Amino acid sequence: MQKRFKASTYYFNRLMLPVRLRCLGCSGCFILGLFFATTCPLYAAQTQPALIPALTPVADWKNLTYITQAFSEIALKNEYDVAKHRVRKWRIPVRVFVEHQVGDRALHTQLVRMHLAHLVEITDHDIQLVDTLLDANLHLVFTRQSQWESEVTRLMGPSSAKNVHGSVCMAKFALNAKSEIERAWVIIPVDQAQMHGKLVACVVEEITQVLGLPNDSEKVFPSIFNDKTPQDLLTGLDFILLKLLYNPSIRAGMTAAEVKAPLQFLLEQWQRDGTLIHADKTVRQGQLYPLLGY
């Protein structure tokens, strides 16, 4: 996935981040889902059918049909290929190792730790930081722009390095034959991300997407997965998409047809019990929201 140029207002706290920065930047995060022992394909954009056109997104994203289509758009597609994908998610615990190649180690670790804690609350999946790379299956690297291309080549391969230009941060995950995610990589060139006001957004979006929501789409709003909106943190819709993906009734390897019934059941249940109505408020209980002034 790769974000394009857009203008938006970003809010940051005192932890060495610019305050209320107005920026015009190219923010990119490129996700590649692939099987082990396969080459990394070069993706081409595809034309996709529109979601319900008459929605007023802020008020009406809670429409059940809209959410179902948004799940299909973000969870079952890749932006740069035309293949039909199955559900992709982690079954095994996620163990995250953070490699620091630049300063501000405490700040970067804090941002990652806060977002991981939020993801655990939403998904109820076992996600933890670890101290060594040998214990990790998600390798996150904070680097600098001068090492950006070489780090992508080192961890993701030469084909991925072709996509660094016009991107701000990148991620990739690897699947087994059951469409279960088994390894993932995230690379954030800190100076480049800060220049575009996207350090926090890179942490949030990349880690979230390697959980199994790999597509970007302008048709899904409000969402951090929409390049045309200024979202830096998860929205209520993103919260629901994550909860759907990691509900036990949604299994890795399911097709679009197979997930239709459990999605409908869950959404109807959450409509009755208030989960949908309160999603926008619930998602803002994450630790990063007051940090960014929400």
Kindly report, residue by residue over 94-141, the tens digit of the pLDDT.
999 999 999 999 999 999 999 999 999 999 999 999 999 999 999 999
Mapped onto helix, strand or coil, the DSSP state of residue 53 is coil
Q: Which residues 6+ apart lie within 8 Å of 204 measured at CB?
A: 115, 224, 232, 233, 234, 288
Rounded Cα distance between 123 and 67, Å, is: 17
| Amino acid making up residue 174 | A
| Amino acid making up residue 250 | I
State pTM to two decimals: 0.84
| Amino acid making up residue 212 | G
Nearest to 173 by CA among 150, 190, 156, 151: 156
* Among the ranges given (25-34, 137-146, 252-261), the one the predictor scored with the smallest mean pLDDT: 25-34
Cis? peptide before 222, omega within 30° of 0: yes
The percent of the chain in helix, strand and coil, each rounded to the nearest 5, is 35, 20, 45
Kindly report, residue by residue over 223-271, the tens digit of the pLDDT.
999 978 778 999 999 999 999 999 999 999 999 999 999 999 999 999 9
Q: What is the residue whose two structure tokens read 């034959």?
A: 177
The strand ranges marked E within the chain are 5-10, 21-26, 29-30, 33-35, 89-90, 94-100, 127-129, 138-143, 169-175, 180-189
Evaluate whether 200 touches 12 at the Cβ level (below 8 Å): yes
Structure-token pair, residue 244 = 């759907």
**Alpha carbon of 46 to those of 83, 163, 212: distances in Å?**
10, 17, 19
Q: Which is more confident, 84 or 35?
A: 84
Q: Which residues 6+ apart lie within 8 Å of 176 measured at CB?
A: 35, 36, 182
Structure-token pair, residue 288 = 């990063």
Helix (H) or strand (E) holding 6: strand 5-10
Kindly report, residue by residue over 148-201, the tens digit of the pLDDT.
999 999 999 888 887 788 789 999 999 999 999 999 999 999 999 999 999 999
